[in-house]
Amino acid sequence: MTDNTKRLVFCRRYQAELEGLVKAPFPGPKGQDVYDNISKKAWQEWLEHQTRIINEQHLNMMDMTSRKYLQEQMAKFLAGEAVDQADGYVPPVTK
């Protein structure tokens, strides 16, 4: 693959072929699954959503319960399922 070639994946969240990540976001089978099946766009949206819920719910990433909750939310989000929202968050209006 050359530098100009974008890797395409069939994105689980969007059910469409979209640009994929450059590398797995973390090691192991879950990271490989994200690399193989999640688009760059969906991953970026997850990172933004993750930050909002960590901040709004004051999650402690040293706490196993918080990490497990976040992993469950990530799986749902990337599968296109409903996830918890940060209190008071209103998504931007697209024109």
With a cut of 90, say whether residue 89 has pLDDT above it: no
CA angle 21, 24, 25 (to 5 degrees): 90
**Taking 80 as the threshold, does the pLDDT of residue 82 lie above it?**
yes
Residue 20 per-residue DSSP state: B
**If we measure between CA atoms, which residue out of 40, 27, 42 comes closest to residue 75?**
42
Are the C-beta atoms of residues 17 and 10 closer than 8 Å to each other? Answer: yes
Q: Does the pLDDT at position 3 exceed 90?
A: no
Nearest residue to 30 via CA among 83, 71, 59, 63: 71
Domains of the chain and CATH, by start: 25-78 (1.10.3880.10)
| pLDDT at residue 85, rounded to an integer | 86
Q: How confident is the model at residue 31 (pLDDT cuts 50, 70, 90)?
A: very high
